[in-house]
Amino acid sequence: MTTAASAPAKPSFKEQMLQAREEAIVQTANRLLAEKGFESMTVDEVAASVGIAKASLYKHFPSKEDLAAAAMVRLMQRTQDVLASVQVDQKPIDKLRAVARWSMEAQLAGEMPSLPHQNSSLRAALMNNRGYLDRLVAISDTLGGWIQAAQADGTLNPKLPAIAVLYTLFARACDPVLGFLKSSGLQSDAEIVDLVLGTCFDGLASR
Amino acid sequence: MTTAASAPAKPSFKEQMLQAREEAIVQTANRLLAEKGFESMTVDEVAASVGIAKASLYKHFPSKEDLAAAAMVRLMQRTQDVLASVQVDQKPIDKLRAVARWSMEAQLAGEMPSLPHQNSSLRAALMNNRGYLDRLVAISDTLGGWIQAAQADGTLNPKLPAIAVLYTLFARACDPVLGFLKSSGLQSDAEIVDLVLGTCFDGLASR
DNA sequence: GTCTATAAATTGATAGAC
DNA sequence: GTCTATCAATTTATAGAC
């Protein structure tokens, strides 16, 4: 704040560099979280993958939990962006399908961290992270509205509690079936997504 | 082998005690694996929960991976027992439903370890464990037969690759949706199982 | 086989120079 | 802010007495 007073509109070159480095760190953390989970991911590994020293990383994030939480917040932001970009004129169930499809594509691309275990230290950190919780609530509200609308127009099973549908969509974003099928090598990524998306909405049984 | 020659039919009292202790260790490991996953489970914790010293545990199992693998083998055995006890006169799809139901009830009871991550040291140990692999193949064969029969009689969607159905059933055994719904406290265990089993076979969309 | 005590390795986090 | 070097705590695994 030593130069112009109207700082927030135009970040300095140094600030841009700082933010770009943080984005690189968080992106790497996100990838490793998706690849091996929070417990198996080491801070040394993140730092080495980014190409900086571990102590430098700790100047940006005070703990491993905070680093992982930043990656999860970034994921929530991206999810909100996806929700905002969904075609408004679609049927509600197709909006839900579109979001589920995106999440599955993201998982196949190695960008979808799996859900933290119930008593993980990461989960505790997330439950104390306002930025994460607010975004999670906002996402749940948007999806909840679509779910209710889809049940009202009869396309989504009205007998299911809306919260069960919501949780199912979250869970399918990290469905291990996608990785299993990919490693079997029998289908293309697009076919895998279609398969899992189909079984999610239409079930295993014949229609 | 110092007493009678026909040893295998009648284990001595000491051998029974030994096997009972090992069963207690493996059962505890199974519970902790389900509760916190392989990485977060510590050998100290298993030993303390069983009520023995850690060094004693290492007399039974040479490593943490071997201990966890023993728990997974035990799970495969229990699964084979369930497969063998399924009513033979049921329709194939109802056999599949029965197995899926059992796995979900086991998960709600805290007895179902989640699948190890792709590059986990546990996964590597399992892939080198003949007892585990053989049972996994046998289970897959049995389920695969039922899947093909259910597709042949038209009750299971014939357009789905059988391997996709098989992987889906494995994945639903550790579906995090069950735990989410349980912690929400809105449904009973039986209702949760019915819900998730229903969405698995019938999908989220209306029929 | 079970125990206490300890080794050996990993890893989250920090000190301090530049 | 970034680095090298190191600390401190955890955790897997083992030594050795009984």
Convert the pLDDT of each residue in B151-164 to its tens digit: 999 999 999 999 99
Question: Are the beta carbons of B206 and A158 separated by less than 8 Å?
Answer: yes
Q: Which residues of B touch A183 (CB under 8 A)?
A: 118
- Which residues, 6 or more positions from A6, have their beta carbon under 8 angstroms from its beta carbon? none
Closest of A143, A75, A150, A148 to residue A113, by C-alpha: A75
φ and ψ at B135, to 5 degrees?
A: -65, -40
pLDDT band at residue A33 using 50, 70 and 90 as cut-offs: very high
Residues of B in contact with A203 (CB under 8 A): 157, 199-203
Q: Is the pLDDT of residue A1 over 80?
A: no
CA distance A138 to chain B (A): 18
Point out the residue among A36, A174, A200 whose CB comes nearest to the CB of B204: A200
Q: Indicate yes or no: CB of B201 within 8 angstroms of CB of A201.
A: no
At residue A2, does pLDDT exceed 60? no
| CA dist., res. B18 & res. B21, Å (int) | 5
C1' (D1) to CA (A59) span, angstroms: 8
Q: Which of B39, B154, B205 sits opposite A201 (nearest CB)?
A: B205
- Closest alpha carbon to B143 in B96, B101, B85: B96
Please give the helix or strand (H or E) that residue B149 lies within, else none: helix B130-152
- Residue B18 — pLDDT band, cuts 50, 70, 90? confident
Q: What is d(CA B12, CA B69) in angstroms, rounded to the nearest whole number?
A: 26
The size of chain A, in residues, is 207
Which of A67, A51, A156, A58 shows the shortest CA–CA distance to A113?
A67
Do A30 and A106 meet the contact criterion of CB atoms below 8 Å apart? no
Question: Which chain B residue's Cα is nearest to A175?
Answer: B171
Residue owning tokens 């949760």 = B192
Alpha-carbon span A4 to A42, nearest angstrom: 41
B83 three-state secondary structure: helix
CB A155 within 8 A of CB A91: yes
Domains of chain B: 63-202 (1.10.357)
- Mark yes or no for CB contact B204/A168 under 8 Å: yes
Q: What pairs with residue A205 in β-bridges?
A: B156
From chain B, the residues in CB contact with A160 under 8 A are 195, 198-199, 204
The confidence score (pLDDT) of residue A9 equals 61
Is the pLDDT reported for residue A131 higher than 90?
A: yes
Report the number of secondary-structure helices (H) and strands (E) in chain B: 10, 0
Q: What is the pLDDT of residues B76-103, one digit of tens each?
A: 999 999 999 999 999 999 999 999 999 9
How many beta-carbon pairs below 8 A join chains A and B? Answer: 141
Place of tokens 């198996």: A40
Averaged pLDDT for residues A56-81:
98
How many Cβ atoms from other residues are within 10 Å of residue A179's Cβ? 20
CB B75 within 8 A of CB B33: no
CA A150 vs. chain centroid, Å, equals 23
What are the structure tokens assigned to A134, written together?
A: 């607010």
Asked whether the predicted pLDDT for residue B7 surpasses 60, the reply is no
- Which run of H or E residues covers position A81? helix A64-85
Count how many Cα atoms sit within 13 Å of the Cα of residue B176 in the half-sphere of its side chain.
21
Whether CB of A56 is under 7 Å from strand D: the answer is yes
- Residue percentage of chain A with pLDDT more than 70: 96
